[in-house]
Chains A and B, each alone.
Chain A
Amino acid sequence: MTIEYLEKKAAQIRVDALSAISRAGSGHSGSAMSCVEILVSLYYAEISGKAVAKFDSKKPQWDEQDYIILSKGQAVPTQYAILADKGFFDKNEMDYLRRANSILQGYPNMKVPGITVPIASHGCGLSIATGLAMSIKNERLPNKVFAILGDGELQEGQVWAAAMAAAHYKLDNLIAFVDNDNLQMDGPVRSVMDVMPIQDKFESFGWKVIHVWHGHDFDEILDALAKAFTTNRHPVCLWCHTVKGKGIEFAEGKPYYHDAPLSPEELAEVKRKLDPICASNLKMFGNE
């Protein structure tokens, strides 16, 4: 596994997810793009020759798997694109995203092979991850639990109730990413309801916080994960600075695209840029 391989995968996942959202005519294009590198790191990367997360597409209910919980469930087309690529289900299913009679619901649903917990609305993912991590610790097993939270989601009180419980029960098998793209439905997070200072908040709740300044840089994400894996007796928060709509030049940092699909013309423009990367090993993003 090389960084070039991960970047190529990220480009492919972007195209697959955006195409599905565009075909569905509804969905959260911007939100789905800001967490691509985080999810690709979890599903495809290795650290010291070992897969970051343990899973088996042939055994979606495997007891020994690690759990990847997309608490910002609106970004699930990205996770679906990865699961399809990994062989959890047929890629053709992506054509029916958000349509009646499809398994691919608008938010993560346990009927989808590879989706291990239900996420029906924002704010509950960290609590579910906490329960899973408590249960696993109780079973004295080494499975890890990864949760990916949005930054707007931190406005939900339940997130902090979960943060308190995770620290109280010393859940060092729990790693939560905060996908901090600074935008939510009504505009900048800081003007809707400021969630800063994220680091101080998590630290004061008893978490270890690792800052990922460039949340689209695989080297940085993997370095942070390596540090998180060696942390004992504390849950870890990976605070990742990301860009809403990353990879879609005209949508980057624009609140409108938080919950909008791309038009066929916009999608064609994105594909013109990303398709060559999917077909080659070009480096897509440098360190901004």
Chain B
Amino acid sequence: MNDLIQIGEKVDILKALPEGLLNLARRYRNLVVLHADFGMRMGLKNFSTAFPERCFNFGLSEENMVSAAVGFAVRGKIPFVVGYSNFAGKAWEQIRSSVCYPNLNIKFVAANVGISNGEDGVGYQATEDIGIMRVIPNMKVASPVDYNEAMSVLHKSYMEFGPVYVRLANCVSPLIFDDKHEFVFGKANVLKDGDGLCVFTHGVLASNVLEAAMILKDEGKSVMVVNMSSIKPIDEEMILSCSEKVGKFLVVEDNNLSGGLFSAVCEVLAEKNPASVRGIGLKDRFAESGGMSELHRKYGLDVMGLAGKMREFF
């Protein structure tokens, strides 16, 4: 296994949304896109030009859009319901009762999640979305770390039957994977091997975690970094094999630790192999307006902050 997957050029993760959907729509005629007035902002102009009869704008009515997707799914379509940031919270009851309960084949893609949409402030920061989506039976949750993985997540979401929630940040982020990378629901990947401390992460923070791990490496401290982009189903096997090897865990996420990946990892370890776990993220609190890097710094999610916490816990 490579000691470290090389970090590559920086690419906008959100670009995967219009490009991935266009690729899929060219291959699969039953794919339709439903969105709520954020089509242009999320780059869906090309999609709606290429497939005007398969792209529907519902205006600012997320609950209506989610329920309408049920109608499309009943007719055999595979709707990709695209929303801005916290839209899943707005339409949670509809997602739970009308989509997940009957296990309909509907995909939800939230753009500008976590604190990547920092400047708009708390109302447009999705920091509890993992928790509220993860608790719904039948729902799968994915949080890709870069553009290439996001492309693969969209493809796998189409192929996988049942509801899926995909979390896409709005930021330019270094490529961790190449375009051959294949995301698999329920499978984690070791991004960097190590034996002193194991860090689980997902989404845009993976590159910061990797850089912080390299700083510790230079100090002679070996840190393992695992990409848990499939938050549900979670790779229990990976968590348990890491716990046999390392025994000390850190979970890093741009989400409320309650209900997020931190909770998911703790649930597995508490039941199967209790271990010492700490979380870095939003600890039962809201964020605030600010640039993403600024907020990362404030909440200890920047490279130096993460390196400091890793050192402390090592």
Contacts and interface: CB of A to CB of B under 8 A. Distances in A.
Interface of A: 67, 109-110, 116-121, 124, 127-136, 138-139, 145, 157-158, 161-162, 164-165, 168
A121 B64 contact: no
A171 to B, nearest CB: 11
Interface string B67-81: 111111011010000
Contacts of A131: 67-72
A24 to B, nearest CB: 20
B161 interface: no
Interface residues of B, number: 26
Contacts of B97: 118, 120-121, 124
Nearest to B60: A161
Interface of B: 32, 53-54, 56, 58-59, 61, 63-64, 66-72, 74-75, 77, 93-94, 97-98, 101-102, 104
Central interface residue in B54, B61, B67, B94, by most chain A CB within 10 Å: B67
Nearest to B94: A124
Contacts of B67: 124, 127-128, 130-131, 158, 162
Contacts of B54: 138
Nearest to B99: A118
A224 B117 CA distance: 51
Nearest to A121: B97
Given A118-B97, A128-B71, A135 B63 contact: no
A164 B59 CA distance: 10
13 contacts: A117-B74, A118-B102, A124-B67, A130-B64, A130-B68, A131-B70, A132-B71, A132-B75, A134-B71, A135-B71, A161-B64, A164-B61, A165-B61
Contacts of A168: 59
A180 B227 CA distance: 55
B64 A118 contact: no
Given A128-B98, A164-B61, A165-B61, A116 B74 contact: yes
Nearest to B54: A138
Given A118-B104, A131-B72, A165-B68, 12 more contacts: A117-B74, A120-B101, A121-B97, A127-B66, A127-B67, A127-B94, A130-B64, A131-B69, A132-B71, A138-B53, A158-B67, A165-B64
A124 B68 CA distance: 9
B74 to A, nearest CB: 6
Given A127-B64, A161-B64, A120 B71 contact: no
A135 B77 contact: yes
A121 B63 CA distance: 13
A109 B102 contact: yes
A236 to B, nearest CB: 17
A83 to B, nearest CB: 17
Central interface residue in A129, A135, A164, by most chain B CB within 10 Å: A135
A130 B67 CA distance: 9
Given A138-B53, A161-B63, A128 B102 contact: no
B102 A127 contact: no
A117 B70 CA distance: 8
Contacts of B56: 134
B71 A162 contact: no
B269 to A, nearest CB: 34
Central interface residue in A128, A133, A168, by most chain B CB within 10 Å: A128
A162 B53 contact: no
B75 A158 contact: no
A116 B73 CA distance: 11
A121 B66 CA distance: 14
Nearest to A132: B71
Given A158-B63, A158-B64, A161-B64, A124 B98 contact: yes
Given A128-B67, A165-B59, A134 B72 contact: yes
Contacts of B69: 131
Contacts of B71: 117, 127-135, 145
A118 B93 CA distance: 13
B79 to A, nearest CB: 8
A149 to B, nearest CB: 13
A116 B104 CA distance: 12
Contacts of B68: 127-128, 130-131, 134, 162, 165
A54 to B, nearest CB: 15
A127 B72 contact: no
